[in-house]
């Protein structure tokens, strides 16, 4: 019988928004941060 896998949920909309902001900042001659910490959620399955 299959067991549910442990997985990670990420905020896809926030990743896209920040990525777009980095591109816009670079086009405007700014130097955006290289590291962006985003929240995530660990969803435990039977494999954790």
Name the DSSP letter for residue 5. P
pLDDT at 48 over 80: no
Q: How confident is the model at residue 21 (pLDDT cuts 50, 70, 90)?
A: very high
* Mean pLDDT, the chain, whole residue set: 90
C-alpha 18/C-alpha 28 separation (Å) is 15
pLDDT at 10 over 90: yes
C-alpha 41/C-alpha 11 separation (Å) is 9
pTM value? 0.68
Give residues with Cβ within 8 angstroms of 11, minimum separation 6: 38, 39, 40
Radius of gyration of the chain (CA): 16
């Amino acid at each position: 019988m299959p067991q549910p896998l442990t997985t990670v949920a990420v905020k896809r909309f926030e990743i896209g928004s920040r990525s777009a902001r980095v591109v816009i900042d670079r086009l405007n001659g700014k130097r955006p941060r290289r590291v962006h910490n985003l929240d995530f959620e660990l969803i435990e399955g039977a494999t954790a």
